[in-house]
Amino acid sequence: MSKAVIVTGASQGIGAATVAAYRKLGWNVVANSRTIQPSDEPGIIAVPGDIADPVVGARIVQTALSEFGRVDTVINNAGIFIAKPFTDYTAEDFDAVTGINLRGFVSVTQPAVAAMVEQGGGHVVTITTSLVDHALSSVPASFASLTKGGLNAATRSLAVEFAGRGVRFNAVSPGIIRTPMHPAETHEFLAALHPINRLGETSEVTDAILYLEGAPFVTGEILHVDGGQSAGH
């Protein structure tokens, strides 16, 4: 039976590249985003919806189980990033960022891990950010650190909690990746935030995800794909 992966935030950027990477491996994919369109490709099922709503997370996992009979991996890629001075954040910003980054993580991962334990194993990869490890005065983003830093910590905690039950938890911590989120006029400024002085490519993030997929002795790892950003500047 073909393996099945859930990818959130799957309609563009890293998420869309991850869907394509797993399809190349012959995996079935359940792809989610708020705006995702139905796929004509066999082996990809789109489940639209906002994962901040726990009903949507349950629906995504149930779709994988009913259509493909299993959940082998979850890629928690959906995320929201709002860069502002700390004192400018609003209650609406807080609800938006924690809704997607934290409640969304729980709403998808919790039922998926329950299914993985029942089938004898699985893997969760969460996309975080190197701003957690290396804050930048030019990009104030404490809500990213609050949520994505929490996800890094949860990755290690869950890796230990489930190590004896065959479920691995890892994170990929990117620098700034060339995606539609970043307009071309910002690229020069953003490239300079990395010691190697360029943006990352989506393929470099998917390569890291697939490395973790094929590394059964690796769990609790935060794998930085950030051009040296987390090391210093």
> Which structural domain range is residue 185 located in?
4-231
What's the pLDDT at 181?
76
Half-sphere exposure of 62 (CA within 13 A, CB side): 7
Single pTM value for the model: 0.96
Structurally, the chain folds into a number of domains equal to 1
What pLDDT score was predicted for residue 138? 81
- pLDDT score, position 182: 81
pLDDT for res 139 = 85
Three-state secondary-structure class, residue 45: strand
Closest CA to 220 of 140, 147, 162, 139: 162
Looking at residue 183, its pLDDT comes to 83
DSSP state of 62: H
Q: Which residues in the chain show pLDDT less than 70?
A: none
**Residue 5 C-beta-side C-alpha neighbours within 13 Å:** 27
Interatomic CA distance for residues 61 and 49, integer angstroms: 13
Strand 122-127 with 73-76, pairing: parallel
Burial of 92 (0-12, 13-18, 19+ CB in 10 A): exposed
**CB-CB contact of 72 with 123 (8 Å):** yes
53-110 residue pLDDT tens: 999 999 999 999 999 999 999 999 999 999 999 999 999 999 999 999 999 999 999 9
SS3 168: strand
Q: With contact defined as beta carbons under 8 Å apart, do 71 and 21 qualify?
A: no
What CATH number corresponds to the domain at position 101? 3.40.50.720
76 bridge partner residues:
126
